[in-house]
Amino acid sequence: MRLIFFLFLIFFISNISYSDSDKKLGIEFTSDSLEIKENDNVIIAIGNVEIKNKNRRILADKIRYDKIKDKGVATGNVKIYESDGSIYQSEKVILENDFKNITASLFYGTFSDKSKIMAKKFIKKEKGISIFENGSYTSCNCDLKNGELPIWELSTETSKHDPESKTIFHKNVTLKLLSVPIFYIPSINHPDWTVSKKSGFLTPTISYSNQNKLEASIPYYYTTKDPTWDMTITTHGKGKNGIASQVNFRKKYFKSSLETDFYSGILNTNKKDNDDVLAFKYDLETEIKGNWNIKSVGKYSDQDTFMRRYGFDTESEYKSFIRAEKISKNKISQIEFYNIESLQNNVNSNEEPIMKPFISHHRFGSIKNIDYNIKLKAHEINNDEYYDIQRWSGSGEIQKKVNFLNNKIQIDTGIGLDLYAINSRPTSDTNDNRYLDRLSFGLGLSASREYTTRGKNIDMFFEPKLQFSSIYSTDRIDSIPNRDSSNYRIDSSNVFFLNQYQGRDNIQTNQKINYGVETFLTSNSMGDFDFFVGQSQRIGGTENGLIDYYDRQSDFITDLNWYLSDDFNINYNSLLDHHNLEPNQSNLTLNGTLLNTNFTTSFRSIKDKLVDDNKDREQFSFGFNKSFNNWKIGYSNSFDLANDNSEKISEEINIDYLSDYLFQDCLSINLKYKNNGGSSDRDISPENSIQLTVKLKNLGN
């Protein structure tokens, strides 16, 4: 029968009482048998020995405790359970200082996060400091005690855990992969598992490229006890092309947040070698009284390509702005200032617009089944391709829908007033009118009817729609530069709008007939199918200044979506020339699953007359991915097919492990091959690259 003893009773029998201290410590012994040697002040517990206090539980086959030396020796299958969830094992453990100090040889440990450690010697001191000598750490699910080798391990001369500073210190660290040393560092420290964030080095990135040769990025994370801010300082070594530093600062307020990036370095650029470069970005969001949301973004670069060339970002144009926005029921109000900096070499600084400011108020709703939409706008813009313009606009639309003999009748009316002050024009614009006004009025009448048929295996919905629209506008075509609707094309989204231009600068007096048919079909065998075809035809007035100038008839608009099943769908939309039905613009996309392989393919084309540089565009893209046994293989490529040529734009192959980790649940890999042979940026060379990412559990990439 098990015997249960308290230490204060043992010491009382030995004529030396420690009852007060033992009650305070709360230490408890249990064992199958107990031998007390009073003359030697020694206690021997044998068989299923257990020692407990509020912080630790120790199990062993035998414990010999010397009261005078305050030293206990636990032997035989010793296990120590810590209050933080860690479990330590050894064949021999020395316990001192009321069992607060622990020394063990050939020690094995499992932490609360299931990671493991092995050490030739382990020392745990009174204040909780743990020292591991000649240790090996891994997060792999393996049995170190029985000699199972981990996929990866950190081998150290000495490791120390200080719970007061919540830091782990390592000395002479070697990273081994499959027992092969691959990385060495003299010393390193990092926060322990109880810390959510702490200053220190983060995982570095090391790579090789044809352009930069060997390169590395080493980030250092800095934080304080103030939880509202932190920052990361990263040193980017770009091999033979120089070095740069990046500071990323983040600050959180009660209703605000701020993030900044600052870049500085000496890099080879398209201007010269060893060029001093500088760039910064910031992003500020806040909320002020009255439910106004403020967002401000600032971007600057003193050299036009180094950010893209060295992979800091991909933008070729920087827009800096401050915007105030308020959204409430049926109302949207907005105020914005912005400046655009082009990073293209052939753009003059006088072509970089500055908005100061843009003010907009949008109100919408319904009164007695009449929908209304009111917009008030004002802006001043400078350097917009050498134009300096001020504009004040007010517009309103109302819409009424009625049902007449099963036909849906819709009446749309709209009115607008625009005032302009054109303070500056380019030399190519010889018009000298400075102050201009324009009044516009529109009326639309449309009729549509729904037809529905239901069969045994098929349902079909069919709705033809016809609209007559008329727009009147004061003639200002030659006086007002078209800045907000120059790329206008008629498509399925705007064919039935009163003002198809979607802007205020190019409104012309004309009358149109717009028509289209929408079809929806659902079938058990054919899936879901919807199709739209339509056209706009001008019957009077003018329609000048468009890229796609079509005289009186627009292109035929087609839009098709076919969802054959969950494993296959097709989308096709195009603008077909009304003379010969050849596509001026088309986009075909197929997505599906075949033989458990997901695939997507697309073909896009656009004719030269719809493009500013008058050059045809054709592009074909294809990709697939297949998963099996937690692995995923993906492939994608794209080709430029313009001018009867076939030039590869990009190609990419990915091999991923889908679950969190493989190989003893501690390592995951990704292999990527990429060919960006079609880069249009003059300062980014076409390049092949191979990237292998190895993710070690608890250590990062």
The string of pLDDT tens digits covering residues 656-675 is 766 666 666 777 777 777 77
DSSP code per residue over 416-468: EEEEEEEEE--TT------EEEEEEEEEEEEEE--EEEE-SSEEEEEEEEEEE
d(C-alpha 53, C-alpha 27), whole Å: 5
The mean per-residue pLDDT over the stretch 306-316 comes to 85
d(C-alpha 325, C-alpha 303), whole Å: 33
pLDDT band of residue 19 (cuts 50, 70, 90) is very low
Contact 699, 150 (CB under 8 A): no
**How does DSSP classify residue 366?**
E
Q: Indicate whether 14 pLDDT > 70.
A: no
Report the percent of the chain where pLDDT is more than 70: 87
User: For residue range 20-77, what is the model confidence (pLDDT) as tens digits?
Assistant: 334 444 677 788 888 888 777 888 888 888 888 777 788 999 988 888 888 888 888 8
Question: What are the structure tokens assigned to 467, written together?
Answer: 């609209």
Which segments within 566-646 are labelled E, that is strand? 568-576, 583-594, 597-606, 617-628, 631-640
Q: What is the pTM of this model?
A: 0.69
- Give strand pairing partners of 104: 93, 122
Cis upstream peptide for 357 (omega within 30°): yes
pLDDT of residue 9: 35
Which of 694 and 110 is assigned the larger pLDDT?
110
Specify the range with the lowest mean pLDDT, choosing from 35-49, 376-390, 415-429, 563-577.
Answer: 35-49
pLDDT of residue 71: 85
pLDDT band of residue 678 (cuts 50, 70, 90) is low
Q: Indicate whether 370 pLDDT > 50.
A: yes
Return the half-sphere exposure (C-beta side, CA atoms, 13 A cut-off) of residue 272.
Answer: 5
pLDDT band of residue 12 (cuts 50, 70, 90) is very low
User: For residue range 521-546, what is the model confidence (pLDDT) as tens digits?
Assistant: 998 888 899 999 999 999 999 887 66
pLDDT of residue 198: 73
The mean per-residue pLDDT over the stretch 79-96 comes to 85
User: For residue range 631-660, what is the model confidence (pLDDT) as tens digits?
Assistant: 789 999 988 887 777 777 788 888 876 666
pLDDT of residue 679: 52
Contact 75, 62 (CB under 8 A): yes
Contact 597, 624 (CB under 8 A): yes
pLDDT of residue 432: 87
pLDDT band of residue 284 (cuts 50, 70, 90) is very high
Query: Residue 395's closest CA among 499, 306, 311?
Result: 499
What are the extents of the domains in the chain?
A: 1-99, 574-701
At 264, the amino acid letter reads S
Query: Residue 501's closest CA among 551, 535, 547?
Result: 547
User: For residue range 231-275, what is the model confidence (pLDDT) as tens digits?
Assistant: 999 999 888 889 999 999 999 988 899 999 999 999 988 888 999
pLDDT of residue 346: 58
d(C-alpha 447, C-alpha 510), whole Å: 20
Query: Residue 351's closest CA among 342, 363, 361?
Result: 342
Question: What are the structure tokens assigned to 698, written together?
Answer: 């608890």
pLDDT band of residue 188 (cuts 50, 70, 90) is confident
d(C-alpha 250, C-alpha 246), whole Å: 13
Burial class (CB in 10 A: 0-12, 13-18, 19+), 701: exposed
pLDDT of residue 7: 38
**How does DSSP classify residue 150?**
P
Query: Residue 111's closest CA among 78, 96, 126, 89?
Result: 89
Element housing 22 (H / E)? helix 19-25
Contact 680, 202 (CB under 8 A): no
Helix (H, G, I), strand (E, B) or coil at 595: coil
Which of 259 and 78 is assigned the larger pLDDT?
259
Question: What are the structure tokens assigned to 613, written together?
Answer: 């540089």
Output the CA torsion 450→453→459→462 (10° steps). -30
Which of 601 and 305 is assigned the larger pLDDT?
601
Q: Indicate whether 322 pLDDT > 90.
A: yes
The mean per-residue pLDDT over the stretch 158-175 comes to 84
User: Exposed e or buried b for every residue in 497-536, given b needs 16+ CB within 10 A?
Assistant: bbbbbeebbbbbbbebebbbebbbbeeeeeeebebbbbbb
Q: Indicate whether 506 pLDDT > 90.
A: no
Specify the range with the lowest mean pLDDT, choosing from 188-197, 298-307, 523-532.
Answer: 188-197
pLDDT band of residue 467 (cuts 50, 70, 90) is very high
pLDDT band of residue 348 (cuts 50, 70, 90) is low
d(C-alpha 348, C-alpha 334), whole Å: 30
Return the half-sphere exposure (C-beta side, CA atoms, 13 A cut-off) of residue 482.
Answer: 18
Q: How many degrees, rounded to 5, is the angle at CA 556 between CA 551 and CA 561? A: 155
Contact 639, 648 (CB under 8 A): yes
pLDDT band of residue 699 (cuts 50, 70, 90) is low
Contact 629, 641 (CB under 8 A): no
Question: What are the structure tokens assigned to 687, written together?
Answer: 């390049």
